[in-house]
């Protein structure tokens, strides 16, 4: 089963994303901070990571950069989930190595489609 | 009573007071935890229903089950429902709005807008905004003058979500009010109002208050109001406020119309304020007019770092012609090694080209 790591400090969003992805047939591990996401992704690399950008301590951008620097997680597909929609914010997200960028408020159905698209792109 | 006796009594009183105080704290925490545990227990089954609906399931039975929850259970799960309402869109949002409306949430929220507790007022404003209630326009505009700054911010955001252009003037007016709302919050809310706000924004460029004119100029760019170009150009040329002129320069870059080239080039003149010249140099890159390449190349040797730096980055944004100009500026240093201005221009060109190369390499390494 395809494994997805979800990191978001907002419990409602974390549970919603996990719920929707599990409903779509994915195996989901959810954590509530950047450091836990980095540890989990390094120790048990998933098939894809969904990261909230604004997390206390280590942000999603920081986690993304660190994952891209580690040989074991360098190629992990990463989707950033964020309330920051300015052009510059999107640039920073992609500059950090994200494969896709979803802005809140988001459509849960669209999230699943984006996950499928990124995974399909990685397989080809 | 002896002195020793008085001291013993005082100590005993202090001890009792400390015990009572400690007991109150522990008791208060215990009660709060018990309440929270009870709320979580009550909310648990309803939370699964809520997540299913927020995830986009429009199963009528699940919607009906959420609508028919007892008031006690709904109150327990309502904070989660409000949070999710503001963070999802599409069908999930529509279904959640339906649940809130059928539970009478809009009516309840309106009645809470005048509560003494600022948290209650802010939550009510947030619910009305997330429900997109156009009939809440006036009470939310009133809330822009709330004594609590957080309530004012929530009201401004909610007006943005509702998207009624009638909120344009009240939102702008808060910028000059004693009870103001931060400019970025106002600009974001106005941007959400979209093109319907264009008329009121244009009219606000004649407002006597500079913060209002500056924000109006900024938002016209953010909503892509190409029809406002001529008026924004005149603001760039003649507005007495430097903040307004800077916003106008940024907006002209965003709007990207060819007529903006002349006023932007004019703003680069050495007698203009440095911040304006820097913004105009940046805007020319946004504009993407290759004809600006020669003016930007001259700026590479500008003594003001931010002007030269922005000019170099703008040349990069012009594509092939801009890169060629940067390469030429870099090589000029070899021909004129004693000219400090040439060396300055070459250094800025080198920095921009190196940054571009770095970005290209990062893209390739990915």
Nearest chain B Cα distance for residue A17, angstroms: 8
Residues from chain B contacting residue A12 (CB–CB below 8 Å):
80, 83-84, 87
Query: What pTM was estimated for this model as a whole?
Result: 0.77
Q: Does A56 touch chain B (CB under 8 A)?
A: no
Q: Among all residues of chain B, which has the CA nearest to that of A22?
A: B55
Q: Pick the residue of B40, B56, B83 with the most A CBs within 10 A to test the interface with A by mutation.
A: B56
Q: Give the containing element (helix H, strand E) for A102.
A: strand A100-103
- Whose CA is closest to B57, among B105, B106, B99? B99
**DSSP state letters, B29-64:** HHHHHHHHHHHHHHHHHHHHHHHHHHTT---HHHHH
Residues from chain A contacting residue B56 (CB–CB below 8 Å):
20, 107-109
**B158-185 residue pLDDT tens:** 999 999 999 999 999 999 999 999 999 9
- Bin A70: left if φ > 0, else alpha if -120 < ψ < 50, else beta: beta
| CA–CA distance, B329 with B349 (Å, rounded to integer) | 6
Whether A12 sits inside 8 A of B80 (CB atoms) is: yes
Residues from chain A contacting residue B84 (CB–CB below 8 Å):
12-13, 16
Which long-range contacts does A92-97 make (Cβ < 8 Å, 24+ apart)?
Answer: A92/A61, A93/A53, A93/A61, A93/A64, A95/B362, A96/A61, A96/A64, A96/A65, A96/A68, A97/A64, A97/A65, A97/A67, A97/A68, A97/B366
| CA–CA distance, B180 with B185 (Å, rounded to integer) | 11
Nearest chain B Cα distance for residue A62, angstroms: 17
User: Three-state SS string across B85-140, please?
Assistant: HCCECCHHHHHHHHHHHHCCHHHHHHHHCCCCCHHHHHHHHHHHHHHCCHHHHHHH
Q: Give the containing element (helix H, strand E) for A52.
A: strand A48-52
Instruction: Using CB atoms, pick whichever of B51, B87, B89 lies closest to residue A19.
Output: B51
The per-residue b/e assignment along B243-260, b for 16 or more CB within 10 angstroms, e otherwise, is bbbbbbbbbbbbbbeeeb
Q: Hey, which residues 23-42 in chain A have their CB within 8 Å of chain B?
A: 23
pLDDT at B366: 62
Whether B88 sits inside 8 A of A20 (CB atoms) is: no
Compute the half-sphere exposure of residue A53: CA atoms within 13 Å on the CB side of its CA.
Answer: 21
Residues from chain A contacting residue B93 (CB–CB below 8 Å):
105
Q: Among all residues of chain B, which has the CA nearest to that of A82?
A: B87
Burial class (CB within 10 angstroms; exposed 0-12, middle 13-18, buried 19+) of B335: exposed
Q: What is the pLDDT along chain B (366 residues), one digit of tens a residue?
A: 788 888 888 999 999 999 999 898 888 888 888 887 887 788 888 888 999 999 988 788 988 998 999 988 988 888 889 889 888 998 899 999 999 999 998 899 999 999 999 999 999 999 999 999 899 999 999 999 999 999 999 999 999 999 999 999 999 999 999 999 999 999 999 999 999 999 999 999 999 999 999 999 999 999 999 999 999 999 999 999 999 999 999 999 999 988 999 999 999 999 999 999 999 999 999 999 899 999 999 999 999 999 999 999 999 999 999 999 999 999 999 999 899 999 999 999 999 999 999 888 877 776
pLDDT at B363: 74
pLDDT band, residue A85 (cuts 50/70/90): low
Residues 6+ apart with CB under 8 A from B160: B129, B167, B171, B188, B189, B190, B191, B192, B193
Whether A105 sits inside 8 A of B87 (CB atoms) is: yes
Instruction: Using CB atoms, pick whichever of B80, B93, B362 lies closest to residue A105.
Output: B93
Q: Does A69 touch chain B (CB under 8 A)?
A: no
| CA–CA distance, B193 with B129 (Å, rounded to integer) | 13
pLDDT band, residue A123 (cuts 50/70/90): confident
Give all domains of chain A, ordered by start, each with its CATH number: 3-123 (3.40.50.2300)
Using CA atoms, how far residue B309 sits from B294, B334, B337, in Å, is 15, 21, 21
pLDDT at B38: 80
Name the interface residues of B facing A (CB cutoff 8 Å).
47, 51-52, 54-56, 80, 83-84, 86-93, 362, 366
**B94-128 residue pLDDT tens:** 999 999 999 998 899 999 999 999 999 999 999 99
Which of helix, strand or coil describes residue B16? helix
Q: Does A45 touch chain B (CB under 8 A)?
A: no
Mean pLDDT of chain A: 91
Residues from chain A contacting residue B92 (CB–CB below 8 Å):
107-109
pLDDT at B214: 97
CA B190 to chain centre: 10
| CA–CA distance, B126 with B14 (Å, rounded to integer) | 47
Whether A109 sits inside 8 A of B88 (CB atoms) is: no
**A59-76 residue pLDDT tens:** 999 999 999 998 889 999
pLDDT at A87: 64
Q: Does A121 touch chain B (CB under 8 A)?
A: no
Instruction: Compute the C-alpha angle A86/A88/A93, nearest 5°.
Output: 100
Report the DSSP pairing between strands A48-52 and A100-103: unpaired
| CA–CA distance, A116 with B78 (Å, rounded to integer) | 32
| CA–CA distance, B337 with B355 (Å, rounded to integer) | 23
CB atoms within 10 A of CB B344: 18
Instruction: For chains A and B, count residue pairs whose Cβ atoms are closer than 8 Å.
Output: 51
| CA–CA distance, B284 with B271 (Å, rounded to integer) | 18
Instruction: Compute the C-alpha angle A44/A45/A51, nearest 5°.
Output: 110
Using CA atoms, how far residue B291 sits from B75, B265, B268, B287, B296, in Å, is 63, 10, 14, 11, 10
């Amino acid at each position: 089963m395809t494994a997805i790591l979800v990191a978001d400090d907002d419990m409602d969003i974390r549970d919603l994303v996990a719920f929707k992805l599990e409903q779509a047939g994915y195996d989901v591990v959810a954590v509530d901070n950047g450091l836990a996401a980095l540890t989990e992704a390094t120790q048990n690399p998933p098939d894809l990571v969904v990261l909230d950008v604004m997390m206390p301590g280590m942000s999603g951008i920081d986690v993304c950069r660190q994952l891209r620097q580690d040989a074991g997680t360098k190629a992990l597909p990463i989707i950033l989930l964020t309330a920051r929609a300015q052009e510059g914010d999107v640039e920073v997200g992609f500059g950090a190595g994200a494969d896709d960028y979803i802005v809140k408020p988001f459509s849960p159905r669209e999230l699943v489609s984006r996950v499928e698209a990124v995974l399909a792109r990685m397989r080809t | 009573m002896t002195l020793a006796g008085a001291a013993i009594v005082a100590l005993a009183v202090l001890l009792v007071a400390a015990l009572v105080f400690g007991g109150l704290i522990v008791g208060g925490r215990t009660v709060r935890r018990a309440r929270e545990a009870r709320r979580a227990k009550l909310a648990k089954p309803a939370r699964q229903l809520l997540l299913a609906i927020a995830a986009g399931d429009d199963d009528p039975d699940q919607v009906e089950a959420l609508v028919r929850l007892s008031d006690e259970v709904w109150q327990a799960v309502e904070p989660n429902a409000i949070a999710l309402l503001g963070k999802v869109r599409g069908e999930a949002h529509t279904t959640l709005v339906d649940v809130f409306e059928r539970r009478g949430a809009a009516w309840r929220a309106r009645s809470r807008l005048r509560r003494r507790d600022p948290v209650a007022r802010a939550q009510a404003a947030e619910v009305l905004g997330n429900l997109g209630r156009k009939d809440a326009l006036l009470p939310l505009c009133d809330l822009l003058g709330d004594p609590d700054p957080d309530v004012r911010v929530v009201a401004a955001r909610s007006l943005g979500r509702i998207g009624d252009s009638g909120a344009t003037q009240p939102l702008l007016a808060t910028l000059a009010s004693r009870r103001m709302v931060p400019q970025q919050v106002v600009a974001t809310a106005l941007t959400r109002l979209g093109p319907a706000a264009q008329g009121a924004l244009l009219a606000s460029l004649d407002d006597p208050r500079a913060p209002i004119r500056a924000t109006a100029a900024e938002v016209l760019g953010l909503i892509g109001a190409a029809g406002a170009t001529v008026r924004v150009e005149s603001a760039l040329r003649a507005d007495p406020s430097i903040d307004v002129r800077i916003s106008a320069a940024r907006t002209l870059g965003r709007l990207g119309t060819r007529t903006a080239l002349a006023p932007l080039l004019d703003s680069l003149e050495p007698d203009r304020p440095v911040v304006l010249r820097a913004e105009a140099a940046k805007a020319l890159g946004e504009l993407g007019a290759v004809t600006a390449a020669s003016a930007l190349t001259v700026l590479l040797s500008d003594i003001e770092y931010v002007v030269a730096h922005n000019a170099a980055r703008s040349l990069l944004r012009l594509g092939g012609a801009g890169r060629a100009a940067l390469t030429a500026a870099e090589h000029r240093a070899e021909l004129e090694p004693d000219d400090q201005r040439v060396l300055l221009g070459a250094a800025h060109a080198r920095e921009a080209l190196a940054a571009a190369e770095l970005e290209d390499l990062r893209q390739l390494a990915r």
